[in-house]
Amino acid sequence: MQAVQRPGYLLSAALAAAVHLLFAVFLVLGLAWQTKPPERVEVELVAALPNSPRVPVAAPPPPMLEPAPEPEPAPPEPKTAPPEPPPPAPVPKPAPPVPKPPPPAAQVRPAPEPPVARPDIAVRERRERERKLQERKAAEVRDKEQQRKAEEAQRKEQVRQRAEAARMAEEERRRQEEARRAEEAKRRADDARRQEESRQAFLAQQRAIDEARRARERVEAEKRAAAQAAATAQKVIDEYTARIRNAIREKVVVPPGIVGNPQAEFEVKLLKNGTVATVRLVRASGSNAYDREVERAIELAQPLPVPDDPELFAQMRDLRLLFRPRD
């Protein structure tokens, strides 16, 4: 299938096989041309001759004897003859020469034997050398194949390591990119949250301001309504007070002899049906007759006109009424 997919594969394989075949032929022919017969080694064995004269060995020289030390001369005596000199020391005689022993049998070289013709030794050695050469070539081929496989494995390992490093770098880049995107998203979320919190705080402040404004408006409206109601109630109370005063004044008979226009002030406490509960003179007019007449008129004018509204009646239950004779 590979040969079909790759047309140049068969041509490359054929060329490689032809080159290897030529190389093997040249190698075999070169080995055949360079094969030489092994050199012969000749060994001479010399035996000891039966009547060989012994060679005398020179004896070692005799040891030299040191001369005896001369005695120290005695101090000269006066008027005595000198002593005679001592005789010379004898010289030793040389030892006789010692004959040299004969050489041992191991050191004797025997006579060389005639060479034996072995025509198959060269062939066996040549075949042995060819076998060793082929083994060495096969070992070199195996070593080269192992080295190629090791280099291929190392190349694949380097490619794998580079791919792994690229993958790890890509993963690190993606991780950093994801971290950056997450940080950016978090920052945008925080900004949006802060903006929303600011907007909510502003809206709450606006609501509080609006609520306070509405509360003030409500209070002011209530005050205005209360003031208006109070004014209306006071108007009604004033009308009923005027009606009560007129009803009492119609019953007052002014005594003669009153000088000027004195004023008498009475405190009147009313009941719900208009009757007078109590009457008390708060400030006299200076005329006892006029003060008694006004008090009698209050009693005669019962029941006094009072409003049906309990709240209005509660406000005018206690009245202070002023009376003058010439009003």
Token digits of residue 232: 């209306």
- The series of mean pLDDT values per 10 residues for the chain, 327 residues long, is 54 83 78 55 47 46 50 49 51 52 49 54 90 93 92 93 94 93 92 92 92 90 85 84 87 81 87 86 85 87 84 84 82
Token digits of residue 202: 């502003």
Q: What is the pLDDT of residue 30?
A: 66
pTM beyond 0.75, yes or no: no
Give CA–CA dist 299/287, Å, rounded: 19
Task: Say which DSSP state 50 is in.
Answer: T
Quick check: helix, strand or coil at residue 166? helix
Give CA–CA dist 302/305, Å, rounded: 8
Q: What is the pLDDT of residue 272?
A: 85
Q: What is the pLDDT of residue 175?
A: 92
Rg over CA atoms, the chain: 82
- Tell me the one-letter amino acid at 149: K
